[in-house]
């Protein structure tokens, strides 16, 4: 893959620029009354179809994607990459996750969008609403983490883990809407931001350029 690495980096950077353009545009639109009214209508329709069993799962996904849980999972993934002597991948993952968390806080301060109305919420939440922190970090922690951990694995195994990571990220994002603590546009913008930041981390650190770790040579039997 080294011969194709400039093309890969260019595509990743282009995707990053496009995604952040969409994030910025969507963030500005969220300040308008028209999209807020649409967001509110979606949350009200979701509230009408809530079921106790679904609510329990959504609360679990939201719990998994918030607080100290993503931090612990991120540290475990970083340690696993470092233990396999994939230092570039470990650094890529750790820096991307930490800077993504900081970027989310910065965007919240820039847009300062209020949370949805209290009567729609099934969970406690503080701070500003756009972009959703759970939804922005989930693609980085789970999606990028699954990709870096399995990029040298057999293709079916790698695809299975990557799919699981992305499905988990989408589930966490959906839980924030279901529980009424974020508007749909908060979640969509955050997912775009998380994917874009992951792509930028891959482009900057280029762990894809490295060859698979060499396996130790077997000692011939005497």
Separation of alpha carbons 87 and 184, rounded Å: 37
The answer to whether residue 216 is domain-embedded is no
Question: CA nearest 10: which of 206, 194, 150?
Answer: 206
Percent of the chain clearing pLDDT 90 (strictly above): 45
The answer to whether residue 65 is domain-embedded is yes
- Span 193-198, average pLDDT: 89
The answer to whether residue 53 is domain-embedded is yes
The answer to whether residue 217 is domain-embedded is no
The answer to whether residue 215 is domain-embedded is no
Statement: residue 152 has pLDDT above 80: yes
How does pLDDT run across 23-69, given as a tens digit for each residue? 777 777 777 778 888 899 999 999 988 999 999 999 999 999 988 99
Separation of alpha carbons 124 and 92, rounded Å: 33
The answer to whether residue 18 is domain-embedded is yes
The answer to whether residue 214 is domain-embedded is no
- 131, 107 contact by CB (below 8 A): yes
Percent of the chain clearing pLDDT 70 (strictly above): 89
Query: What are the angstrom distances between the C-alpha of 33 and each of 19, 37, 87?
Result: 23, 6, 47
Question: How many folded domains does the chain comprise?
Answer: 1
The answer to whether residue 125 is domain-embedded is yes
For residue 152, what are the domain limits?
2-209
How does pLDDT run across 57-108, given as a tens digit for each residue? 999 999 999 889 999 999 999 999 999 888 889 999 999 999 999 999 998 9
Separation of alpha carbons 78 and 59, rounded Å: 27
Residue 3 — pLDDT band, cuts 50, 70, 90? very low
Question: CA nearest 133: which of 108, 110, 116, 98?
Answer: 108
């Amino acid at each position: 893959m080294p011969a194709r690495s400039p093309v890969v980096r260019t595509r990743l950077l282009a995707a990053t620029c496009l995604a952040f353009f969409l994030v910025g545009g969507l963030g500005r639109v969220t300040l308008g009354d028209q999209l807020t009214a649409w967001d509110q209508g979606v949350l009200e329709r979701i509230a009408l179809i809530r079921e106790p069993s679904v609510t329990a799962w959504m609360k679990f996904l939201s719990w998994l994607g918030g607080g100290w849980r993503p931090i612990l999972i991120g540290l475990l993934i970083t340690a696993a990459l470092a233990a396999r002597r994939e230092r570039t991948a470990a650094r890529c993952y750790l820096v991307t996750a930490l800077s993504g968390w900081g970027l989310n806080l910065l965007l919240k301060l820039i847009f300062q969008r209020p949370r949805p109305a209290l009567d729609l919420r099934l969970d406690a939440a503080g701070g500003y609403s756009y972009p959703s922190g759970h939804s922005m970090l989930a693609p980085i922690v789970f999606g990028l983490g699954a990709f870096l951990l399995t990029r040298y694995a057999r293709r079916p195994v790698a695809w299975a883990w990557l799919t699981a990571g992305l499905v988990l990220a989408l589930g966490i994002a959906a839980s924030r809407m279901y529980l009424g603590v974020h508007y749909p546009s908060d979640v969509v913008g955050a997912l775009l931001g998380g994917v874009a930041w992951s792509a930028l981390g891959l482009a900057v650190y280029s762990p894809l350029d490295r060859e698979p770790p060499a396996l130790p040579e077997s000692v011939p039997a005497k």
